[in-house]
């Protein structure tokens, strides 16, 4: 794949992720819990992880966090660091599972990603937000990650099948 | 879904439910007085001692995005109004037990009930 | 087939989760208050069935009212209340004849007598004439003269209280003597109420009769009850906080029940030897298992010098004490060290002995 081509695809993926991520900040939250989102942008991260790999996935999700925060005016605020930590942890976990646990399908990977995203945010919050009882939210964030991960996983699978039929992309899926 | 997916789902569900059960024990209790601590932008800006039957009381707290209104009534406290876009803190409603916490991430306000300082009785 | 199995399992787990979160009867707290024995008595019970808690609380209050009636010293002679009060009957028959009394009152008097001996007379339930002389609990207060004190102090003597175990009789052998169970009855009533609640099957409760507190069980799983000790000189401040579980706590302080005579304050914890308020301590808080014992001991220890009090506590089983001395030292008995979170104002000093 030529460099230019790659750059174009990348830009498209980052734009798509940013659009989805920003869209979600505008929608009202499904649950009154900080950090719980459907995680539509995670669909893009998943696709990139499957189509390219860890490095590319990290780049796309970090650019997405950066752009969404710039759009929302939360750059370098507490909320930004929470999203950042969630994105890094979930991308690492998903990439690890894709590489080492081949028995998991994209749905399982998505679920693990959603849960680790929520946990990652909470871990960051425990450093950034000084309250002794931050883990008050833990069970809800754990449980909320399951259905949101399932939904984004199914959506990602649909898209992945579509892309797999196209020959202009390099496919690594097993 | 593969079998491994299913195992993962089950595993996560069980961990989540166990955490939830623990949560019920840890974060639900009743007190005679609640020590409410309100932090804004990382600093403690208010500490309130709430006792049962106390009348409604409203406080304005300056957060990162603007003024939020915190309301207390008896032993309970809630975020009544906040300038944040997601309104999660407002939707969360009342908290009334030690360790319960309301966090408003965009406005950087934290409200929690301190377990150490909330007393069941006073002798003297 | 396998897939169905899995779906069933998920559904079951989600239902279990739902039951844990929504279905689980939320633990309720029921608090009732009544004015008894010159103070507000509150009983808080915890459980899932409020009707049951209400019934148990009602019975506990009934028992407390019964003790209150038996021990009230100020009912007017001839009224029904006076006839109901064992203390009034004993006092009216002082120097005349022994009277048969309720077994609870008998038990209180026995305990009181025991502690009179243990404190070598510093604690005395026959203190009635002295309290009356000063005017505690009466309309008019005055500072007694030396002659008056001399006359009245001969009437304060626990050894002249004759208890007959077999007949369950009590007799004050000299005319003019009188009992005052102010240091005993509240705690005893709290203990009785706790027994009633426990018999009814209440597992978690707190009874508070003006600072005489008894807790039943833990407040919640692995969560003790937190009780603050009031600062004797600032009613909004605390000396420290104790974590209790199945225990009782009581405090006697020089700031409670005071009278003012010619601009000077006097408290009600009087010495049977001098006839004056005892000034060694500002407050004494006792933690033990029995609320009656806690109440009685907090008064008895208050009347002793701090070191004497600590020595006595060391001899008693499962009894701990926090003493705030007149010179603002905080003394904590060894069993409580590390268990009390001190948060006293700077003017107090903590003496680690």
Answer whether residue A80 is part of any domain: yes
E-assigned strands of C101-233? 161-164, 169-172, 204-209, 212-216, 225-231
- Residue A52's pLDDT is 85
Examine the pLDDT at A168 and tell me if it is beyond 80: no
- Residue C315's pLDDT is 94
Distance (Å, whole) CA C232 – CA B78: 34
- Residue C22's pLDDT is 63
pLDDT one-digit tens code per residue, C236-294: 678 988 999 999 999 999 999 899 898 899 999 999 999 999 999 999 999 999 999 99
The residue in chain C having the minimum alpha-carbon distance to the alpha carbon of residue B115 is: C226
Answer whether residue A156 is part of any domain: yes
Which residue in the set C17, C222, C228 is minimally distant from B122, CB to CB? C228
Q: In what order do the strands lie in the sheet with C234-244?
A: B121-123, C225-231, C234-244, C340-342
- Residue A172's pLDDT is 45
ipTM of the complex: 0.81
Answer whether residue A174 is part of any domain: no
Predicted confidence band of residue C162 (pLDDT cuts 50, 70, 90): very high
Q: Rounded to 5, what percent of chain A is helix, strand, coil?
A: 75, 0, 25
Report the mean per-residue pLDDT for chain A. 85
Q: What is the mean pLDDT of residues C302-330?
A: 95
- For residue C214, what are the β-bridge partners? C207, C248
Answer whether residue A173 is part of any domain: no
- Residue A94's pLDDT is 95
For chain A, the domain total comes to 1
B3-27 vs C2-18: helix axis angle to the nearest 10? 10
Report the mean per-residue pLDDT for chain B. 85
- DSSP strand pairing (B109-114 vs B33-40): antiparallel
- Residue A171's pLDDT is 46
Q: How many residues in total does chain A contain? A: 174
3-class SS of residue C163: strand
Mutate to test the interface with C, among B33, B113, B123 (most CBs of C within 10 A): B123
Phi-psi bin for C169: left (phi > 0), alpha (psi -120 to 50), beta? Answer: beta
Distance (Å, whole) CA C293 – CA A71: 69
Segment of A11-20, C14-23, C233-242 carrying the highest mean pLDDT: A11-20
* b/e code A127-151 from CB counts within 10 Å (16+ = b): ebbebebbbbbbbbbbbbbbebbbb
Give Cα C48 to chain centroid, integer Å: 29
pLDDT one-digit tens code per residue, A67-126: 988 887 778 878 889 899 999 999 999 999 999 988 899 999 999 999 999 999 888 888
Q: What is the mean pLDDT of residues A145-162?
A: 91
Domain residues for A118?
3-164
Distance (Å, whole) CA C286 – CA C298: 5
Answer whether residue A135 is part of any domain: yes
Answer whether residue A54 is part of any domain: yes
CA angle C276, C281, C287 (to 5 degrees): 120
User: Which CATH number do you get for residue A41?
Assistant: 1.10.1760.20
Neighbors of chain C with 3 or more C-beta pairs under 8 Å: B
CATH code of the region C74-172: 1.10.3980.10
Which residue in the set A28, A125, A138 is minimally distant from B19, CB to CB? A138
CATH code of the region C28-48+190-351: 3.10.520.10
Which residue in the set C17, C221, C283 is minimally distant from B124, CB to CB? C283
A142/chain B closest Cα distance in angstroms = 6
Q: Which of B120, B106, B34 lies closest to B73 in space, CA to CA? A: B34
Chain B residues with beta carbon closer than 8 angstroms to that of A104 = 2, 4-5, 8
Is B30–C249 a contact, with Cβ atoms under 8 angstroms apart?
A: no
Is C9–B10 a contact, with Cβ atoms under 8 angstroms apart?
A: yes
State phi, psi for A74 to the nearest 5 degrees: -115, 15
Which residue in the set B5, B15, B100 is minimally distant from A108, CB to CB? B5
Distance (Å, whole) CA C183 – CA C87: 13
- Residue A173's pLDDT is 40
Examine the pLDDT at B30 and tell me if it is beyond 70: no
Neighbors of chain A with 3 or more C-beta pairs under 8 Å: B
- Residue C339's pLDDT is 80
Answer whether residue A154 is part of any domain: yes
Answer whether residue A71 is part of any domain: yes
Give the position of tokens 């989600």. C14
Is C21–B32 a contact, with Cβ atoms under 8 angstroms apart?
A: no
């Amino acid at each position: 794949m030529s460099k230019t081509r790659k750059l174009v695809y990348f830009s498209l993926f980052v734009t798509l992720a940013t659009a989805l991520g920003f869209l979600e900040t505008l929608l009202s939250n499904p649950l009154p819990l900080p950090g719980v989102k459907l995680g539509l942008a995670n669909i893009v991260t998943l696709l990139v992880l499957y189509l390219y790999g860890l490095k590319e996935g990290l780049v796309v999700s970090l650019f997405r966090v950066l752009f969404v925060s710039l759009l929302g005016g939360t750059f370098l605020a507490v909320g930004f660091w929470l999203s950042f930590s969630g994105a890094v942890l979930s991308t690492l976990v998903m990439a690890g599972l894709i590489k080492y646990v081949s028995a998991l399908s994209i749905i399982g990977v998505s679920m693990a990603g959603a849960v680790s995203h929520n946990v990652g945010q909470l871990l960051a919050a425990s450093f950034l937000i000084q309250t002794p009882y931050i883990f008050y939210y833990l069970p809800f964030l754990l449980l909320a990650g399951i259905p949101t991960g399932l939904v984004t996983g199914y959506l990602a699978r649909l898209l992945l099948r579509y892309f797999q039929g196209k020959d202009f992309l390099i496919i690594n899926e097993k | 879904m593969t079998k491994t997916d299913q195992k993962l789902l089950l595993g996560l569900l069980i961990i989540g439910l166990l955490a939830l059960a623990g949560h019920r024990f840890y974060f639900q209790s009743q007190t005679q007085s609640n020590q409410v601590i309100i932090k804004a932008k990382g600093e403690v800006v208010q500490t309130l001692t709430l006792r049962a039957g106390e009348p409604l009381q409203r406080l304005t707290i300056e957060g990162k995005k603007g003024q939020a209104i915190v309301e207390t009534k008896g032993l309970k406290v809630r975020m009544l109004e906040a300038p944040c876009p997601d309104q999660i803190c407002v939707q969360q409603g009342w908290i009334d037990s030690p360790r319960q916490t309301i966090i408003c991430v965009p406005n950087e306000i934290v409200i929690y009930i301190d377990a150490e300082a909330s007393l069941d009785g006073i002798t003297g | 087939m396998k897939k169905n199995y899995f779906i069933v399992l998920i559904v079951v787990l989600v239902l279990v989760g739902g039951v844990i979160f929504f279905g689980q009867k939320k633990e309720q707290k029921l608090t009732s208050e009544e004015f008894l024995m010159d103070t507000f008595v509150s009983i808080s019970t915890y459980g899932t069935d409020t009707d049951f808690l209400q019934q148990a609380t009602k019975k506990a209050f009934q028992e407390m009212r019964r003790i209150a009636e038996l021990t009230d010293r100020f009912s007017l002679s001839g009224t029904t209340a006076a006839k109901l009060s064992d203390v009034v009957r004993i006092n009216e028959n002082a120097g005349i004849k022994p009277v048969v009394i309720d077994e609870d009152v008998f038990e209180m008097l026995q305990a009181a007598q025991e502690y009179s001996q243990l404190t070598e007379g510093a604690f005395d339930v026959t203190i009635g004439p002295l309290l009356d002389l000063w005017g505690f609990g009466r309309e008019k207060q005055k500072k007694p003269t030396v002659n008056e004190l001399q006359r009245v102090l001969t009437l304060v003597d626990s050894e002249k209280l004759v208890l007959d175990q077999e007949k369950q009789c009590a007799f004050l052998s000299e005319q003019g003597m009188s009992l005052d169970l102010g240091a005993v009855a509240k705690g005893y009533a709290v203990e009785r109420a706790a027994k009633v609640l426990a018999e009814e099957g209440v597992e978690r409760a707190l009874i508070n009769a003006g600072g005489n507190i008894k807790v039943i069980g833990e407040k919640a799983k692995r969560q003790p009850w937190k009780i603050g000790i009031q600062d004797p000189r600032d009613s909004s401040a605390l000396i420290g906080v104790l974590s209790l579980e199945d225990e009782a706590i009581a405090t006697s302080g020089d700031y409670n029940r005071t009278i003012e005579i010619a601009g000077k304050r006097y408290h009600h914890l009087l010495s049977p030897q001098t006839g004056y308020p005892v000034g060694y301590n500002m407050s004494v808080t006792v933690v033990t298992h029995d609320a009656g014992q806690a109440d009685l001991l907090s008064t008895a220890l208050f009347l002793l010098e701090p070191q004497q009090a600590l020595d006595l506590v060391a001899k008693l089983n499962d009894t701990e004490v926090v003493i705030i001395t007149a010179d603002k030292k905080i003394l904590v008995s060894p069993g409580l060290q590390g268990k009390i979170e001190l948060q006293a104002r700077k003017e107090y000093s903590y003496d680690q002995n």
